Amino acid sequence: MAELANYDEDSIRSLDWKEHIRLRPGMYIGKLGDGAAMDDGIYVLVKEVIDNAIDEHMMGFGKTINVKVTDHRVEVRDYGRGIPLGKVVDCVSKINTGGKYDSTVFQKSVGLNGVGTKAVNALSSYFKVQSYRDGKTKLAEFNQGELTNDPKESKSDDRNGTSVIFEPDNTVFKNYHFIPEYLDNLLWNYAFLNAGLTINFNGRKFHSENGLLDLLKRKADEENLRYPVIHLKGEDIEIALSHSNQYGEEYYSFVNGQYTTQGGTHLAALRESLVKTMREFYKKDFDATDVRASIIGSIAVRVQEPVFESQTKTKLGSQNVAPQGPTMRTFVNDFVKKALDDYLHKHQETADALLKRILQSERERKEIAGIKKLANERAKKANLHNKKLRDCRLHFDDKNGKEELKDQTMLFITEGDSASGSITKSRNVQTQAVFSLRGKPFNCFGHTKKVVYENEEFNLLQHALNIEDGMDGLRYRKIVIATDADVDGMHIRLLMLTYFLQFFPELVRNGHVYILETPLFRVRNKKETIYCYSIEEKENAVDQLGGKPEITRFKGLGEISPDEFGGFIGEDIRLEPIILKKETKIKDLLSFYMGKNTPDRQQFIIEKLRVEKDLLEEEAA
């Protein structure tokens, strides 16, 4: 038996603040990532800095925030009161130091723990903070949390406020990149939640006068809404909602200006109170799923001393709206009961349209009830024998302490025995699962959800994901479509995206669906091997290796050995997120690509064939 290591006084270490943040960044900013996911760490860093500027605006100081983001640098300038000059260094480098412990100064702030900018500082290769206050200024510069420049105060003609510039440390955030759409969504949310605030971002202006009404109009396809957005405002609460023609529920929830991507007590209270209020208004005991089916809604609340379930503040845990105030459930329910009931009584046309949508959902649910029961029985039986799903070992829940690993789980959806075999042999069995398709999936465009239960593969897939009854039970953080980079592979991608967009659009909107990028080329000599994801990367690799290296063109996932594949789905995995832009209309998008042939699509195909031909000629050269 090996000799046990000594455990004595010398084994005990005390880390300073920056060492601890760099050693355990997940405690402070959640997962790291490379920017492919909307909740990756680099966006949390941006948010932490902007949150401070927003808090100043909420307190009545500063109506403009300037934000500039380039490839690897972020600059934020607000026009609030400015950090007190004598505390500039302390506020960004001494843990649990800040002005937000005094609730009279920041009544309903997001940043309460004195951690945010310290984490940004420690995880940045360059960090500069500068405060302008009453004709004077003070700056400080850091490298990985270490103070590198601390000049004395000096005179300044600049307006009061604070400037923060930082560059995320690429030794922590490897190969990171900012995705513009994620930054746009982040900044638009700030604008919607702070009516009258102007954010200038990379030469563009973000401004809203109508709060959540503007948010819902931006998020929703207005042509797809069954009635005009209902917009309700009260003291410390604002709600906007409508029903659409899409499947599923879609919510955007906020606390003190913070986007709570995982909801929490305020969202749970909203979903409950909407059902209760509509049952009472229409005097009918609707099934809750019929009331909430196809709803798109948003809620924003202001809470004193909010309690979140993690430092990244993605889920509200507060049971009360204030230390001595009402429960969140009572607060939201009382508001919705009065405000929504009043609105529906005053807007009969909207009330009629809302009732019509609920009754339609009720009919659709009853129509597929029998098919659904048979499909569930088939799925249970198939699970005993089928090899379509090679599950991961991790089943996360709070009780076994594995909840923090939830973000690492992913399901690869692939086609063919060879491809699924390569992934299965090279995957991380703890967190990565594989679902194998049999040939090309059915084109479900234009069909009702009935087809999900009638089609065996679709039915088994929704059971594997555990999304039959909503997104709360989703078993994998990332759903990765892994197909060959050829025409057939692209077609399978389109068919799978059609399935998700048609029946489970919230999976896409909430950033769960990705495309796996695999290398097109392997360039190697006797000493080194480089995998390349484009013709440009291939050419650079040839120049780097010199001579006449061996070049292999991968035409299918099955050609890549399991040993090689392990490097492509491990720590350096490249994922392309599926992002729905503001102007994207799902119905029009699917109709163009997956509907019956149209002259527009024929012309599109002809143009793309020309591009493909040019690429093939360039590759051959």
Average pLDDT over residues 338-367: 96
The predicted-structure confidence for 130-159, as pLDDT tens digits, reads as follows 999 999 999 999 999 999 999 999 999 999
Query: What's the CA gap between 180 and 202, in Å, rounded?
Result: 10
Q: Are 477 and 566 found together in one domain?
A: yes
pLDDT at position 621 is 53
Average pLDDT over residues 67-92: 95
User: DSSP class of residue 308?
Assistant: B
Q: What is the pTM of this model?
A: 0.85
DSSP SS3 for 613: helix
Query: Does the residue 11 lie in any domain?
Result: no
**Residue 481 confidence class, pLDDT cut points 50, 70, 90:** very high
Average pLDDT over residues 345-358: 97
Q: What is the sign, positive or negative, of the torsion defined by CA atoms of 22, 23, 27, 32?
A: positive
Q: Are 169 and 80 found together in one domain?
A: yes
Q: Are 361 and 452 found together in one domain?
A: no
Average pLDDT over residues 308-318: 79
Q: Are 23 and 171 found together in one domain?
A: yes
DSSP SS3 for 478: strand
Query: What's the CA gap between 513 and 410, in Å, rounded?
Result: 10
Quick check: 433 and 389 in contact, CB under 8 A?
A: yes
Length of the chain: 621
Sheet (strand 258-259) strand order:
230-234, 237-243, 295-301, 250-255, 258-259
Average pLDDT over residues 430-435: 92
pLDDT at position 289 is 93
User: DSSP class of residue 504?
Assistant: -
pLDDT at 186 > cutoff 90: yes
What's the CATH code of the domain at 407? 3.40.50.670
Percent of the chain at pLDDT exceeding 70: 88
What's the CATH code of the domain at 35? 3.30.565.10
pLDDT at 108 > cutoff 80: no
Query: What's the CA gap between 76 and 97, in Å, rounded?
Result: 21
Query: Does the residue 2 lie in any domain?
Result: no
DSSP SS3 for 211: coil
pLDDT at 261 > cutoff 60: yes
Average pLDDT over residues 412-425: 87
* Residue found under tokens 């995880």: 123
| Helical ranges in 11-40 per DSSP H | 17-23, 26-29
pLDDT at position 191 is 95
pLDDT at 385 > cutoff 60: no
How far does Cα 236 stand from its chain's mean position?
Answer: 26
Q: Are 278 and 185 found together in one domain?
A: no
Query: Does the residue 349 lie in any domain?
Result: yes
Q: Token digits for 589?
A: 């998008």
Q: Are 479 and 359 found together in one domain?
A: no
Question: CA 357, 227, 257, 327: dihedral to nearest 10 degrees?
Answer: -50
Quick check: 427 and 409 in contact, CB under 8 A?
A: no
Compute the mean pLDDT over every residue in the chain, rounded to the nearest whole number: 87
437 - beta bridge partners? 415
**Residue 378 confidence class, pLDDT cut points 50, 70, 90:** confident
Query: What's the CA gap between 94 and 597, in Å, rounded?
Result: 63
pLDDT at position 395 is 62
Closest CA to 182 of 12, 37, 5, 354: 37
Which of 172, 189, 207 is at the close of a domain? 207
Q: Are 411 and 348 found together in one domain?
A: no
Query: Does the residue 10 lie in any domain?
Result: no
Query: Does the residue 5 lie in any domain?
Result: no
Which range of 239-253, 336-350, 375-389 scores highest in mean pLDDT? It is 336-350
pLDDT at position 439 is 83
Q: Are 304 and 401 found together in one domain?
A: no
Which range of 190-194, 343-347, 468-472, 611-615 scores highest in mean pLDDT? It is 343-347
The predicted-structure confidence for 10-61, as pLDDT tens digits, reads as follows 766 677 888 889 988 888 888 888 999 998 999 999 999 999 999 889 888 9
H or E stretch at 349? helix 348-367
pLDDT at 100 > cutoff 60: no
> What angle in degrees, to the nearest 10, is found between the helix axes of 328-346 and 348-367?
110
For 155, the domain range is 17-207
**Residue 305 confidence class, pLDDT cut points 50, 70, 90:** confident
Which of 505, 533, 553 is at the close of a domain? 553
Closest CA to 522 of 487, 559, 570, 573: 559
What end-to-end distance do the CA atoms of the chain give, in Å? Answer: 62
Q: Token digits for 492?
A: 């399978």
Average pLDDT over residues 340-351: 97
pLDDT at 111 > cutoff 60: no
CA-to-CA dists, residue 114 to 104, 111, 144, 168, angstroms: 16, 7, 18, 20
Q: Token digits for 276?
A: 């209760």
The predicted-structure confidence for 318-336, as pLDDT tens digits, reads as follows 899 888 889 999 999 999 9
Average pLDDT over residues 168-189: 94
The predicted-structure confidence for 249-260, as pLDDT tens digits, reads as follows 899 999 988 888
H or E stretch at 237? strand 237-243
Query: What's the CA gap between 354 and 51, in Å, rounded?
Result: 37
Average pLDDT over residues 521-546: 91
pLDDT at position 609 is 62
Q: Token digits for 192?
A: 């919607």
Phi and psi at residue 506, to the nearest 5°: -65, -25
pLDDT at position 105 is 44
HSE-CB at 64 with a 13 A cutoff on CA atoms is 8
pLDDT at 398 > cutoff 50: no
574 - beta bridge partners? 517
User: DSSP class of residue 72?
Assistant: S
What's the CATH code of the domain at 319? 3.30.230.10
Q: Are 49 and 87 found together in one domain?
A: yes
Query: Does the residue 453 lie in any domain?
Result: yes
DSSP SS3 for 358: helix
* Domain count across the chain: 5
pLDDT at position 399 is 47
Q: Are 460 and 377 found together in one domain?
A: yes
**Residue 534 confidence class, pLDDT cut points 50, 70, 90:** confident
HSE-CB at 35 with a 13 A cutoff on CA atoms is 19
Query: What's the CA gap between 496 and 494, in Å, rounded?
Result: 5
Question: Which of 170-174, 333-337, 452-456, 598-602 is predicted with the least confidence, judged by mean pLDDT?
Answer: 598-602
Query: Does the residue 62 lie in any domain?
Result: yes
| Residue 263 Ramachandran class (φ > 0 left, ψ -120 to 50 alpha, else beta) | left
Closest CA to 110 of 120, 123, 100: 100
The predicted-structure confidence for 538-568, as pLDDT tens digits, reads as follows 999 999 998 899 999 887 887 888 888 888 8
Query: What's the CA gap between 567 and 522, in Å, rounded?
Result: 13
Q: Are 39 and 144 found together in one domain?
A: yes
User: DSSP class of residue 557?
Assistant: G
* Residue found under tokens 């046309």: 349
Query: What's the CA gap between 119 and 24, in Å, rounded?
Result: 10
pLDDT at position 397 is 47
User: DSSP class of residue 4?
Assistant: P
DSSP SS3 for 373: helix
Which of 164, 191, 207 is at the close of a domain? 207
pLDDT at position 499 is 94
Q: Token digits for 176?
A: 């990171």
Q: Are 56 and 141 found together in one domain?
A: yes
**Residue 530 confidence class, pLDDT cut points 50, 70, 90:** very high
Query: What's the CA gap between 514 and 498, in Å, rounded?
Result: 14
pLDDT at position 120 is 95
Query: What's the CA gap between 320 and 333, in Å, rounded?
Result: 13
Widest CA span in the chain: 80
DSSP SS3 for 100: coil
Q: What is the sign, positive or negative, of the torsion defined by CA atoms of 485, 487, 489, 493?
A: positive
| Helical ranges in 104-153 per DSSP H | 116-122
Query: Does the residue 575 lie in any domain?
Result: yes
Query: What's the CA gap between 145 and 19, in Å, rounded?
Result: 9
pLDDT at 304 > cutoff 50: yes
